[in-house]
Chain A
Protein backbone atom coordinates (compact mmCIF):
# COMPACT_ATOMS: atom_id res chain seq x y z
CA UNK A 1 0.00 0.00 0.00
CA UNK A 2 1.40 3.39 -0.97
CA UNK A 3 1.56 6.32 1.42
CA UNK A 4 -1.18 8.09 -0.54
CA UNK A 5 -3.35 5.03 -0.16
CA UNK A 6 -2.78 5.20 3.60
CA UNK A 7 -4.44 8.61 3.78
CA UNK A 8 -7.83 7.03 4.50
CA UNK A 9 -6.26 4.99 7.28
CA UNK A 10 -4.62 8.03 8.85
CA UNK A 11 -7.93 9.87 8.83
CA UNK A 12 -9.79 6.92 10.32
CA UNK A 13 -7.08 6.53 12.96
CA UNK A 14 -7.82 10.07 14.16
CA UNK A 15 -11.47 9.12 14.54
CA UNK A 16 -10.83 5.81 16.27
CA UNK A 17 -12.62 3.99 13.46
CA UNK A 18 -9.90 1.50 12.60
CA UNK A 19 -9.92 -2.09 13.71
CA UNK A 20 -7.21 -3.19 16.13
CA UNK A 21 -5.35 -5.13 13.46
CA UNK A 22 -5.37 -2.12 11.15
CA UNK A 23 -4.12 0.12 13.95
CA UNK A 24 -1.27 -2.27 14.64
CA UNK A 25 -0.31 -2.47 10.96
CA UNK A 26 -0.47 1.30 10.52
CA UNK A 27 1.51 1.94 13.68
CA UNK A 28 4.25 -0.32 12.38
CA UNK A 29 4.31 1.66 9.15
CA UNK A 30 4.35 5.03 10.93
CA UNK A 31 7.42 3.98 12.84
CA UNK A 32 9.40 3.71 9.62
CA UNK A 33 7.72 6.32 7.40
CA UNK A 34 8.43 9.95 8.33
CA UNK A 35 6.15 11.26 5.56
CA UNK A 36 3.10 9.49 6.92
CA UNK A 37 4.07 10.37 10.49
CA UNK A 38 4.33 14.04 9.51
CA UNK A 39 1.04 13.94 7.66
CA UNK A 40 -0.68 12.37 10.66
CA UNK A 41 0.74 15.04 12.98
CA UNK A 42 -0.44 17.80 10.63
CA UNK A 43 -3.88 16.29 10.38
CA UNK A 44 -4.02 16.18 14.16
CA UNK A 45 -3.09 19.84 14.43
CA UNK A 46 -5.57 20.73 11.72
CA UNK A 47 -8.25 18.98 13.69
CA UNK A 48 -7.41 20.99 16.81
CA UNK A 49 -7.43 24.21 14.78
CA UNK A 50 -10.86 23.33 13.36
CA UNK A 51 -12.18 22.77 16.86
CA UNK A 52 -10.92 26.24 17.81
CA UNK A 53 -12.32 27.78 14.62
CA UNK A 54 -15.85 26.62 15.40
CA UNK A 55 -15.76 26.13 19.15
CA UNK A 56 -18.39 24.40 21.18
CA UNK A 57 -20.68 26.97 22.72
CA UNK A 58 -23.50 26.86 25.16
CA UNK A 59 -26.78 27.86 23.61
CA UNK A 60 -27.65 31.42 24.56
CA UNK A 61 -30.88 32.11 26.37
CA UNK A 62 -31.91 34.43 23.57
CA UNK A 63 -31.44 31.77 20.88
CA UNK A 64 -33.16 29.13 22.99
CA UNK A 65 -36.09 31.49 23.50
CA UNK A 66 -36.21 32.10 19.74
CA UNK A 67 -36.33 28.35 19.06
CA UNK A 68 -39.00 27.82 21.70
CA UNK A 69 -41.11 30.61 20.25
CA UNK A 70 -40.76 29.18 16.75
CA UNK A 71 -41.74 25.67 17.92
CA UNK A 72 -44.68 27.02 19.88
CA UNK A 73 -45.85 29.04 16.91
CA UNK A 74 -45.66 25.93 14.75
CA UNK A 75 -47.73 23.85 17.20
CA UNK A 76 -51.50 23.73 16.75
CA UNK A 77 -53.41 25.21 19.67
CA UNK A 78 -54.98 22.64 22.00
CA UNK A 79 -58.69 22.00 21.96
CA UNK A 80 -60.49 24.40 24.28
CA UNK A 81 -62.27 21.61 26.12
CA UNK A 82 -61.25 18.03 26.51
CA UNK A 83 -62.97 15.12 28.23
CA UNK A 84 -60.43 12.76 29.69
CA UNK A 85 -61.24 9.06 29.40
CA UNK A 86 -61.93 7.13 32.59
CA UNK A 87 -58.92 5.10 33.65
CA UNK A 88 -59.59 2.42 36.27
CA UNK A 89 -57.35 2.56 39.31
CA UNK A 90 -54.75 -0.16 39.41
CA UNK A 91 -52.27 -1.23 41.98
CA UNK A 92 -49.08 0.68 41.31
CA UNK A 93 -46.16 -1.38 40.17
CA UNK A 94 -42.57 -0.49 39.44
CA UNK A 95 -43.12 -0.26 35.70
CA UNK A 96 -46.07 2.06 36.14
CA UNK A 97 -44.09 4.16 38.55
CA UNK A 98 -41.10 4.50 36.25
CA UNK A 99 -43.40 5.50 33.43
CA UNK A 100 -45.07 7.96 35.76
CA UNK A 101 -41.75 9.45 36.81
CA UNK A 102 -40.72 9.82 33.18
CA UNK A 103 -44.05 11.45 32.40
CA UNK A 104 -43.64 13.80 35.34
CA UNK A 105 -40.16 14.75 34.18
CA UNK A 106 -41.49 15.26 30.67
CA UNK A 107 -44.31 17.39 32.06
CA UNK A 108 -41.78 19.44 33.97
CA UNK A 109 -39.71 19.80 30.81
CA UNK A 110 -42.79 20.90 28.91
CA UNK A 111 -43.72 23.25 31.68
CA UNK A 112 -40.36 24.91 31.90
CA UNK A 113 -39.57 24.97 28.22
CA UNK A 114 -42.89 25.91 26.72
CA UNK A 115 -44.32 28.39 29.17
CA UNK A 116 -43.62 31.99 28.52
CA UNK A 117 -41.60 32.90 31.58
CA UNK A 118 -41.63 36.35 33.08
CA UNK A 119 -38.97 38.63 31.71
CA UNK A 120 -36.90 38.34 34.87
CA UNK A 121 -36.66 34.57 34.32
CA UNK A 122 -35.32 35.16 30.82
CA UNK A 123 -32.84 37.69 32.17
CA UNK A 124 -31.72 35.30 34.86
CA UNK A 125 -31.42 32.52 32.31
CA UNK A 126 -28.86 34.61 30.45
CA UNK A 127 -26.79 34.78 33.62
CA UNK A 128 -27.09 31.02 33.87
CA UNK A 129 -25.44 30.54 30.50
CA UNK A 130 -22.04 30.40 32.12
CA UNK A 131 -23.14 27.38 34.12
CA UNK A 132 -23.68 25.41 30.94
CA UNK A 133 -19.99 25.32 30.11
CA UNK A 134 -18.35 21.95 30.15
CA UNK A 135 -20.70 19.88 28.03
CA UNK A 136 -23.74 20.31 30.19
CA UNK A 137 -25.93 19.83 27.12
CA UNK A 138 -25.21 16.13 27.23
CA UNK A 139 -27.70 14.11 29.17
CA UNK A 140 -26.50 11.65 31.70
CA UNK A 141 -27.03 9.86 34.87
CA UNK A 142 -26.92 12.04 37.91
CA UNK A 143 -24.16 11.63 40.41
CA UNK A 144 -26.99 11.63 42.88
CA UNK A 145 -28.34 14.25 45.22
CA UNK A 146 -25.64 13.60 47.77
CA UNK A 147 -26.61 16.52 49.95
CA UNK A 148 -30.34 16.22 49.44
CA UNK A 149 -32.04 15.13 52.63
CA UNK A 150 -34.85 12.64 52.57
CA UNK A 151 -38.28 14.16 52.28
CA UNK A 152 -40.57 12.60 54.92
CA UNK A 153 -43.53 10.96 53.25
CA UNK A 154 -41.86 10.95 49.84
CA UNK A 155 -39.49 8.43 48.34
CA UNK A 156 -36.73 9.45 45.95
CA UNK A 157 -37.32 7.19 42.95
CA UNK A 158 -34.93 8.45 40.31
CA UNK A 159 -32.34 11.14 39.61
CA UNK A 160 -30.78 12.21 36.37
CA UNK A 161 -29.22 15.22 34.70
CA UNK A 162 -31.19 16.99 32.05
CA UNK A 163 -31.59 20.32 30.33
CA UNK A 164 -34.51 22.24 31.78
CA UNK A 165 -35.25 25.55 30.10
CA UNK A 166 -31.62 25.81 29.08
CA UNK A 167 -30.19 24.95 32.47
CA UNK A 168 -28.13 21.90 33.31
CA UNK A 169 -30.34 20.58 36.07
CA UNK A 170 -30.61 17.71 38.45
CA UNK A 171 -34.05 16.20 37.92
CA UNK A 172 -35.28 14.24 40.93
CA UNK A 173 -38.50 12.25 40.89
CA UNK A 174 -40.21 11.62 44.22
CA UNK A 175 -43.20 9.46 44.83
CA UNK A 176 -45.81 9.25 47.55
CA UNK A 177 -49.12 7.40 47.84
CA UNK A 178 -50.97 10.45 46.57
CA UNK A 179 -48.80 10.90 43.47
CA UNK A 180 -45.39 11.98 42.26
CA UNK A 181 -43.45 15.22 42.37
CA UNK A 182 -40.55 16.36 40.23
CA UNK A 183 -37.85 18.53 41.74
CA UNK A 184 -35.41 20.33 39.43
CA UNK A 185 -32.27 22.00 40.80
CA UNK A 186 -29.68 24.03 38.98
CA UNK A 187 -26.89 26.29 40.11
CA UNK A 188 -27.84 29.90 40.76
CA UNK A 189 -24.51 31.22 39.48
CA UNK A 190 -25.08 34.65 40.92
CA UNK A 191 -28.78 34.75 40.23
CA UNK A 192 -30.35 36.68 43.10
CA UNK A 193 -32.10 34.76 45.83
CA UNK A 194 -35.85 35.01 46.09
CA UNK A 195 -38.54 33.57 48.30
CA UNK A 196 -40.93 30.89 47.03
CA UNK A 197 -43.25 31.78 44.20
CA UNK A 198 -46.09 29.70 42.89
CA UNK A 199 -47.90 29.15 39.67
CA UNK A 200 -49.98 26.73 37.66
CA UNK A 201 -49.46 25.69 34.11
CA UNK A 202 -51.89 23.37 32.35
CA UNK A 203 -52.87 21.62 35.55
CA UNK A 204 -49.38 21.33 36.96
CA UNK A 205 -48.75 23.23 40.17
CA UNK A 206 -45.31 24.67 40.60
CA UNK A 207 -43.35 26.29 43.38
CA UNK A 208 -39.91 27.76 42.80
CA UNK A 209 -37.32 29.65 44.77
CA UNK A 210 -33.66 30.55 44.83
CA UNK A 211 -31.58 30.29 47.97
CA UNK A 212 -28.63 32.17 46.49
CA UNK A 213 -26.79 28.98 45.61
CA UNK A 214 -29.31 27.01 43.60
CA UNK A 215 -32.63 27.50 41.89
CA UNK A 216 -35.31 25.00 42.92
CA UNK A 217 -38.46 24.12 40.99
CA UNK A 218 -41.06 21.75 42.41
CA UNK A 219 -43.74 20.55 40.01
CA UNK A 220 -46.57 18.09 40.21
CA UNK A 221 -50.22 17.53 39.50
CA UNK A 222 -50.94 17.27 43.22
CA UNK A 223 -52.83 19.99 45.11
CA UNK A 224 -50.87 23.17 45.69
CA UNK A 225 -50.93 22.54 49.43
CA UNK A 226 -49.01 19.30 48.84
CA UNK A 227 -46.54 21.04 46.55
CA UNK A 228 -46.07 23.74 49.18
CA UNK A 229 -45.56 21.17 51.93
CA UNK A 230 -43.01 19.33 49.83
CA UNK A 231 -41.24 22.58 49.02
CA UNK A 232 -41.11 23.57 52.67
CA UNK A 233 -39.60 20.19 53.56
CA UNK A 234 -36.90 20.74 50.94
CA UNK A 235 -36.30 24.26 52.20
CA UNK A 236 -36.09 23.16 55.81
CA UNK A 237 -33.37 20.73 54.79
CA UNK A 238 -31.33 23.62 53.35
CA UNK A 239 -31.24 25.67 56.50
Chain B
Protein backbone atom coordinates (compact mmCIF):
# COMPACT_ATOMS: atom_id res chain seq x y z
CA UNK B 1 0.00 0.00 0.00
CA UNK B 2 1.39 3.39 -0.92
CA UNK B 3 1.80 6.09 1.66
CA UNK B 4 -1.02 8.03 0.07
CA UNK B 5 -3.44 5.12 0.14
CA UNK B 6 -2.51 4.43 3.72
CA UNK B 7 -3.16 8.03 4.69
CA UNK B 8 -6.41 7.99 2.76
CA UNK B 9 -7.59 4.92 4.66
CA UNK B 10 -6.54 6.46 7.94
CA UNK B 11 -8.26 9.71 7.06
CA UNK B 12 -11.51 7.95 6.19
CA UNK B 13 -11.52 6.27 9.61
CA UNK B 14 -10.14 9.10 11.70
CA UNK B 15 -11.87 12.23 10.48
CA UNK B 16 -15.36 11.07 11.53
CA UNK B 17 -13.93 10.53 15.02
CA UNK B 18 -12.24 13.91 15.21
CA UNK B 19 -15.14 15.50 17.08
CA UNK B 20 -14.94 12.88 19.84
CA UNK B 21 -11.16 13.10 20.01
CA UNK B 22 -11.31 16.87 20.24
CA UNK B 23 -13.89 16.69 23.02
CA UNK B 24 -11.90 14.13 25.00
CA UNK B 25 -8.80 16.27 24.58
CA UNK B 26 -10.65 19.31 25.89
CA UNK B 27 -11.78 17.33 28.90
CA UNK B 28 -8.26 16.08 29.59
CA UNK B 29 -6.38 19.32 29.12
CA UNK B 30 -8.71 22.13 30.21
CA UNK B 31 -7.20 24.44 27.62
CA UNK B 32 -8.19 24.77 23.99
CA UNK B 33 -4.70 25.19 22.61
CA UNK B 34 -3.45 22.27 24.64
CA UNK B 35 -6.48 20.23 23.57
CA UNK B 36 -5.89 20.87 19.88
CA UNK B 37 -2.20 20.02 20.27
CA UNK B 38 -3.14 16.75 21.96
CA UNK B 39 -5.75 15.89 19.33
CA UNK B 40 -3.28 16.63 16.54
CA UNK B 41 -0.54 14.57 18.19
CA UNK B 42 -3.04 11.74 18.54
CA UNK B 43 -3.90 11.90 14.84
CA UNK B 44 -0.24 11.87 13.83
CA UNK B 45 0.62 9.07 16.23
CA UNK B 46 -2.36 7.12 14.93
CA UNK B 47 -1.20 7.54 11.35
CA UNK B 48 2.33 6.52 12.29
CA UNK B 49 1.14 3.31 13.93
CA UNK B 50 -1.79 2.66 11.61
CA UNK B 51 -0.20 -0.58 10.42
CA UNK B 52 -0.79 -2.01 13.88
CA UNK B 53 -4.53 -1.29 13.73
CA UNK B 54 -6.34 -4.62 13.61
CA UNK B 55 -9.91 -3.58 12.93
CA UNK B 56 -11.10 -3.03 16.49
CA UNK B 57 -13.29 -0.04 17.33
CA UNK B 58 -11.34 2.79 15.81
CA UNK B 59 -12.36 5.46 18.31
CA UNK B 60 -11.28 3.23 21.16
CA UNK B 61 -7.97 2.60 19.36
CA UNK B 62 -7.38 6.32 18.96
CA UNK B 63 -8.51 6.99 22.51
CA UNK B 64 -5.85 4.59 23.76
CA UNK B 65 -3.25 6.56 21.84
CA UNK B 66 -4.54 9.82 23.28
CA UNK B 67 -4.51 8.36 26.76
CA UNK B 68 -0.87 7.28 26.38
CA UNK B 69 0.17 10.63 24.97
CA UNK B 70 -1.57 12.49 27.74
CA UNK B 71 -0.13 10.22 30.41
CA UNK B 72 3.38 10.59 29.05
CA UNK B 73 3.30 14.35 28.84
CA UNK B 74 5.59 16.20 31.20
CA UNK B 75 3.84 17.55 34.26
CA UNK B 76 4.39 21.12 33.15
CA UNK B 77 2.63 20.51 29.89
CA UNK B 78 -0.77 21.12 31.41
CA UNK B 79 -1.29 24.81 31.19
CA UNK B 80 -3.15 27.00 33.63
CA UNK B 81 -6.87 27.03 33.16
CA UNK B 82 -7.79 29.69 30.71
CA UNK B 83 -10.84 28.26 29.22
CA UNK B 84 -13.82 30.53 29.32
CA UNK B 85 -13.67 30.21 25.56
CA UNK B 86 -14.30 26.49 25.90
CA UNK B 87 -17.82 27.10 27.11
CA UNK B 88 -20.35 27.50 24.39
CA UNK B 89 -23.15 29.94 24.83
CA UNK B 90 -26.35 28.07 24.22
CA UNK B 91 -28.87 29.64 21.93
CA UNK B 92 -31.33 29.96 24.77
CA UNK B 93 -28.87 31.63 27.18
CA UNK B 94 -30.01 35.18 26.84
CA UNK B 95 -27.84 37.25 29.16
CA UNK B 96 -24.16 37.68 30.05
CA UNK B 97 -24.71 36.86 33.72
CA UNK B 98 -26.17 33.51 32.78
CA UNK B 99 -23.22 32.89 30.49
CA UNK B 100 -20.65 33.78 33.14
CA UNK B 101 -22.37 31.65 35.75
CA UNK B 102 -22.48 28.71 33.37
CA UNK B 103 -18.87 29.34 32.43
CA UNK B 104 -17.74 29.42 36.07
CA UNK B 105 -19.54 26.16 36.76
CA UNK B 106 -17.96 24.58 33.73
CA UNK B 107 -14.47 25.73 34.70
CA UNK B 108 -14.97 24.44 38.22
CA UNK B 109 -16.25 21.08 37.02
CA UNK B 110 -13.36 20.61 34.64
CA UNK B 111 -11.01 21.44 37.47
CA UNK B 112 -12.65 18.73 39.55
CA UNK B 113 -12.33 16.25 36.70
CA UNK B 114 -8.66 17.15 36.35
CA UNK B 115 -8.15 16.61 40.08
CA UNK B 116 -9.46 13.03 39.95
CA UNK B 117 -6.89 10.25 40.26
CA UNK B 118 -5.69 9.37 36.77
CA UNK B 119 -7.24 5.90 36.70
CA UNK B 120 -10.65 7.40 37.55
CA UNK B 121 -10.26 10.41 35.28
CA UNK B 122 -9.45 8.23 32.26
CA UNK B 123 -12.50 6.06 32.49
CA UNK B 124 -14.77 9.04 33.14
CA UNK B 125 -13.46 10.95 30.11
CA UNK B 126 -13.71 7.92 27.83
CA UNK B 127 -17.31 7.33 28.89
CA UNK B 128 -18.68 10.86 29.16
CA UNK B 129 -16.84 12.57 26.34
CA UNK B 130 -15.68 9.70 24.14
CA UNK B 131 -19.09 8.02 24.33
CA UNK B 132 -17.42 4.62 24.50
CA UNK B 133 -19.22 1.55 25.84
CA UNK B 134 -17.92 -0.29 28.87
CA UNK B 135 -16.56 -3.02 26.60
CA UNK B 136 -14.74 -0.48 24.45
CA UNK B 137 -13.30 1.26 27.49
CA UNK B 138 -12.14 -2.09 28.81
CA UNK B 139 -10.35 -2.70 25.53
CA UNK B 140 -8.85 0.77 25.52
CA UNK B 141 -7.48 0.48 29.04
CA UNK B 142 -6.78 -3.26 28.87
CA UNK B 143 -8.74 -3.93 32.05
CA UNK B 144 -11.78 -6.15 32.80
CA UNK B 145 -15.25 -4.66 32.33
CA UNK B 146 -15.88 -5.02 36.06
CA UNK B 147 -12.94 -2.72 36.70
CA UNK B 148 -14.36 -0.20 34.26
CA UNK B 149 -17.71 -0.27 36.06
CA UNK B 150 -16.10 0.11 39.45
CA UNK B 151 -13.76 2.92 38.44
CA UNK B 152 -16.51 4.80 36.64
CA UNK B 153 -18.83 4.55 39.62
CA UNK B 154 -16.15 5.79 41.98
CA UNK B 155 -15.13 8.58 39.61
CA UNK B 156 -18.70 9.78 39.40
CA UNK B 157 -19.31 9.55 43.11
CA UNK B 158 -16.07 11.37 43.95
CA UNK B 159 -16.96 14.04 41.45
CA UNK B 160 -20.50 14.27 42.76
CA UNK B 161 -19.30 14.77 46.32
CA UNK B 162 -16.69 17.34 45.31
CA UNK B 163 -19.17 19.15 43.09
CA UNK B 164 -21.76 19.43 45.84
CA UNK B 165 -19.03 20.61 48.20
CA UNK B 166 -17.59 23.21 45.85
CA UNK B 167 -20.74 24.39 44.23
CA UNK B 168 -23.19 25.85 46.72
CA UNK B 169 -25.68 26.32 43.93
CA UNK B 170 -25.33 22.77 42.71
CA UNK B 171 -28.76 21.18 42.74
CA UNK B 172 -29.39 18.84 45.61
CA UNK B 173 -32.26 16.58 46.25
CA UNK B 174 -33.70 16.69 49.67
CA UNK B 175 -34.21 13.25 51.15
Among candidates A43, A54, A58, residue contacting B26 with C-beta atoms closer than 8 Å: A54
Q: Which residues of B contact A78 (CB under 8 A)?
A: 2-4
Q: Is the CB of B15 within 8 A of A63?
A: no
Q: Is the CB of B48 within 8 A of A46?
A: no
- Is B152 located at the chain interface by the 8 A CB criterion? yes
**Which range holds the interface residue count of chain B?**
35 or more
Interface of A is mostly: helix
Q: Are A55 and B87 also in contact (CB < 8 A) when A11-B153, A50-B128, A71-B10 are? A: yes
Q: Give B151-175 interface residues, CB cut-off 8 Å to A.
A: 152-154, 156-157, 159-160, 163-164, 170-175
- Specify the chain B residue showing the minimal Cβ separation from A12: B149
Among candidates A12, A43, A58, A66, residue contacting B40 with C-beta atoms closer than 8 Å: A66
Q: Is the CB of A49 within 8 A of B109?
A: yes
Among candidates B18, B110, B134, B163, residue contacting A46 with C-beta atoms closer than 8 Å: B163
Q: Which residues of B contact A138 (CB under 8 A)?
A: 16
Quote the shortest CB–CB distance from B137 to chain A (angstroms): 10
Q: Are A42 and B160 also in contact (CB < 8 A) when A8-B150, A74-B48 are? A: yes
Q: Is the CB of B11 within 8 A of A54?
A: no
Q: Which residues of A contact B109 (CB under 8 A)?
A: 49-50, 53
- Is B92 located at the chain interface by the 8 A CB criterion? no
- Is A177 located at the chain interface by the 8 A CB criterion? no
Q: Are A10 and B3 also in contact (CB < 8 A) when A42-B160, A54-B27 are? A: no
Among candidates A17, A53, A63, residue contacting B36 with C-beta atoms closer than 8 Å: A63
Q: Are A43 and B18 also in contact (CB < 8 A) when A8-B149, A17-B134, A53-B109 are? A: no
- Is B88 located at the chain interface by the 8 A CB criterion? yes
Q: Which residues of A contact B102 (CB under 8 A)?
A: 52
Q: Is the CB of A137 within 8 A of B18?
A: yes
Q: Are A7 and B157 also in contact (CB < 8 A) when A53-B105, A54-B110, A76-B3 are? A: yes
Q: Which residues of A contact B15 (CB under 8 A)?
A: 67, 113, 163
Q: Are A106 and B8 also in contact (CB < 8 A) when A53-B109, A54-B110 are? A: yes
Q: Is the CB of B11 within 8 A of A71?
A: yes
Q: Which residues of B contact A38 (CB under 8 A)?
A: 172-175
Chain B residues within CB distance 8 Å of chain A: 2-4, 6-8, 10-12, 15-16, 18-19, 22-23, 26-27, 36, 39-40, 43-44, 47-48, 86-88, 102, 105-107, 109-110, 113, 127-129, 133-134, 149-150, 152-154, 156-157, 159-160, 163-164, 170-175
